[in-house]
Structure 1
């Protein structure tokens, strides 16, 4: 049996793992690379595996860095099943269409304004590609075994993080191989806590926050302080936010602040068609999160939903005080770019960063207090105050990851630390070795490892 790391090595994006054994080839996650140019160029390079030889794809969750390469895979000829939880399947229907639309819009915008080095600029994939692969999704229930071949099967375990997020545990050739996916937090206000597998012979674990502990601060109080200070000066709070999970959490906190009178009654705009659609899903998947029906309804009502481009332009033309929540979380694209062009140059305004900012993204540049950021081929001065609220992260910190690992009944034969910047991944490797004394390593891009025989009983999984 062989495991090849096609992404999420020495970076937090592009998650793809190729597992070969039991006469089949399975791709766990199929994500886009984001961030620095050398990473983004990998999206355009040929996939180092023939899609005709793939038998299945299994998704941990719907974030684009885990699912966004699927339309490319379909365009290349993959026609097999794409297994995912029902929540992930529903989210992919929203996110892959939105991603494809953004790809097409950005290519068209680049051609119209002539700032691309390629003539003509082409989208990585189209809406037709996304529609094709969405027909291949196969929804699966949590904790239910799914057979892949005579000696291969898998099940999904709840991972927290976002709606539908799962860890994947595979039984193959009498071995257990577990992929953590992105792990959520144990005290997340919306998502339920992650469920670890009882055992794995081989383990692939994420390390996004492998070198950090989340502060114990209350994000409601932090948001309240940002709003109060900014509104006092008539300013605008712009919140670049991931459409899935983070946006709903922000809306939940705003609903609480308004309900308790701790926030001025200023307009709140949610300018992300994808985030609007995702917010509606929380009422359809009540069993997957902690919100009550009334709380799930509240996050849909606390903001004015901005659907069209013309409405978005009207929001950018307004003045404060107000709150504008728009995608994307790392400021890599979407409507938030137009709002930053309008509001970043004004010192009365605030840009609130509410999640992890990968190296090379505009979000990372803002977090580093860059004096200007490049948007649509031109540099926009940043005079607005930059605030970071790291306590809002949907990723487990290293203490929570170690807690998840500690529930395993036996040490894995090998543990692979992925989905982290180099310092974070190595820090988690060191902590795992020191705390558990497990053999632990940080793989590199395109590294392939042979997984030696380690017999287990299938009952251990099912």
Structure 2
């Protein structure tokens, strides 16, 4: 449909409304009206439904209230306003100091629009609590975003010209190239190509003890890469993203709002840790900032044009807050690809189960981390009982419990469970120290309750921080000076009192957890509890395989030889990945059934086992690609 036809349809639907201008802004259709009225708000949904476009409604500048007047109205409509930022295009960003339900946000947005003519973008805040969380990284993201207003406008103008043009070739081949995560875990990166477009799904690193492996990015023509889609903020999916921008990528990155904040926190921490260890990171903080102002956030089930022939829709993946499955609708109904990213087909303490119903799916690209025949995790209640037992045992004998956890996902889940156990008297009340980026990313869980399961969301909306109610949680605000940081860790690790310490990285291959491990490993009273997957080549996997003597590098002790005497326990059942049973059930319950399944993100033996079972039981063609392999979808 040509732009003139779209403009005429807008005018027909909004008959009686004085329209000043209609234009494209990135993937959005923007409609500027003369006056802000209730009627135009009620009618705008019909425009979006008819044209199948994301629609933004703005008011002509001549009829917007002054910033001073609008700011006063905003504070009358909303309480606990922390900050207000006006932008030249007619948007006003309102940052709150408390969480707000979605229906309350919609109501306030509507009232502010009618009373001021400004389009309000409202972001919830963190409930007030005696345990104060550091928020400098959260505030940093906002400063970067607003400080790059001119760059964002330029990006949106460029995207508008590209996305909304008519495809020249409508029946060309569709190919999928696996740049990483094929027959391996880590460096997820998948290039989907049509005659018109190239879209990259994820761009991660492969974790290892001493170095990381990058995806085969040399197979990408950066100048012809049109969009990047990020499913979630774990380093094996996002760790290489700033590297793309460093070497010339200038396009958009699509992700959810929670993922935007978490990605910034994790990537910044990665650079800081490398620099602290005297190593040269592959990219700089400036490259990470570039990622932020090239980010376009989408909510679940919001259909968006990202190329002339590709529409993107995110669905809840249940892996961590904001994690998404990416559905690509290619051409006018020609082909549909669903990429699961990492997903959990089962409800957890914090998250909902992954979505399994779609309009159309011809190809399913599915992770297989726990695809082995014996990779069946116990029920959550068994895992929680085991955690309670092991924590109680260590505490009773005067030891400390060290839990390596990913900064986003497992860290928050384990903290939530331990907090509830202490609150309910199921385990002794001892200090629970939370260190590293788990602390900063905890803000994101409190800012976006509607991404969590309803029970947890209601606690947060009620003004409760469900992660700290026991009174035993101690937030470690990491000291900046190296000497202060060494003393901070030593004070916790060397104290005589029993305690639990939760810190990243979840595979013990770097991060604050290594600093604690270096000081706790020699004492047999202490206990190391693994609650997540340990990839090949990481220190965590080596320990699980029986190694007890190794050389590690920590901030506190430098490079030192460790003779490990602390007890080691691995508790399955807490993973944010689907286990073998859930993977098979997902294929069985998925609607509609895909014509092809491509298995990635798993060790070779596990992928082969899962592929064999899928073909035998469900009679669906199942493909196992290698790194660097390109397959033709259509």
- Is the contact made by 2:207 and 2:213 (CA closer than 8 Å) also made in structure 1? no
**Equivalent residue of 2:598, what SS?**
strand
User: RMSD across aligned C-alpha pairs, in angstroms?
Assistant: 1.8
- Is the contact made by 1:224 and 1:263 (CA closer than 8 Å) also made in structure 2? yes
Match of 1:331 in 2: 508
* Pick aligned residue for 2:346 from 182, 186, 197: 186
Match of 2:162 in 1: none
**Equivalent residue of 1:27, what SS?**
strand
Q: Does 1:435 align with 2:617?
A: yes
Q: Does 1:297 align with 2:465?
A: yes
* Pick aligned residue for 1:264 from 424, 428, 453: 428
In structure 2, what is the Cα distance between the partners aligned to 1:383 and 1:82? Answer: 46
Deviation at 1:41, TM superposition (A): 3.9
Q: Does 1:276 align with 2:460?
A: no
Q: Does 1:368 align with 2:368?
A: no
- Is the contact made by 1:10 and 1:418 (CA closer than 8 Å) also made in structure 2? yes
In structure 2, what is the Cα distance between the partners aligned to 1:381 and 1:134? Answer: 43
* Pick aligned residue for 1:346 from 523, 533, 544: 523
Q: Calculate the TM-score normalised by the size of structure 1.
A: 0.90
Deviation at 1:197, TM superposition (A): 4.2
Q: Does 1:31 align with 2:217?
A: no
Q: 1:263 to 1:128 in 2, by over 3 A?
A: same
In structure 2, what is the Cα distance between the partners aligned to 1:358 and 1:374? Answer: 19
Q: Does 1:446 align with 2:619?
A: no
* Pick aligned residue for 1:47 from 194, 197, 218: 218
**Equivalent residue of 1:102, what SS?**
helix
Deviation at 1:355, TM superposition (A): 0.5
Deviation at 1:87, TM superposition (A): 1.8
Deviation at 1:164, TM superposition (A): 0.5
Match of 1:391 in 2: 573
* Pick aligned residue for 1:16 from 160, 185, 189: 189
- Structure with the bigger RCO (C-alpha within 8 Å, sep 6+) is 1
- Is the contact made by 1:236 and 1:349 (CA closer than 8 Å) also made in structure 2? yes
Match of 1:457 in 2: none
**Equivalent residue of 1:379, what SS?**
strand
Q: How does 1:108-123 map to 2 (within 5 A)?
A: 108=278, 121-123=279-281
Match of 1:219 in 2: 383
Deviation at 1:367, TM superposition (A): 1.4
Deviation at 1:64, TM superposition (A): 1.1
Q: How does 1:16-95 map to 2 (within 5 A)?
A: 16-35=189-208, 40-42=212-214, 47-95=218-266
Q: How does 1:99-110 map to 2 (within 5 A)?
A: 99-106=270-277, 108=278
Q: Does 1:207 align with 2:368?
A: yes
Deviation at 1:373, TM superposition (A): 3.1
In structure 2, what is the Cα distance between the partners aligned to 1:308 and 1:297? Answer: 21
Match of 1:148 in 2: 306
In structure 1, what is the Cα distance between the partners aligned to 2:355 and 2:425? Answer: 36
In structure 2, what is the Cα distance between the partners aligned to 1:322 and 1:141? Answer: 39
Q: Could you report, residue by residue, the CA deviation over 1:188-246 in whole angstroms, capped at 9, with x for unpaired residues?
A: 11111100243311111000111111113523211211122111221110111111111
In structure 2, what is the Cα distance between the partners aligned to 1:104 and 1:431? Answer: 46
Task: Report which stretch shifted further, 343-352 or 295-304.
Answer: 295-304
Match of 1:113 in 2: none
In structure 2, what is the Cα distance between the partners aligned to 1:409 and 1:308? Answer: 46
Aligned length: 436
Structure number, greater radius of gyration? 2
- Is the contact made by 2:402 and 2:528 (CA closer than 8 Å) also made in structure 1? yes
Q: Which runs of 5+ in 1 are unaligned?
A: 109-120, 453-462
**Equivalent residue of 1:178, what SS?**
strand
Q: Which runs of 5+ in 2 are unaligned?
A: 1-173, 480-484, 554-558
- Is the contact made by 1:169 and 1:197 (CA closer than 8 Å) also made in structure 2? no
- Is the contact made by 2:196 and 2:308 (CA closer than 8 Å) also made in structure 1? no
Q: 1:197 to 1:17 in 2, by over 3 A?
A: farther
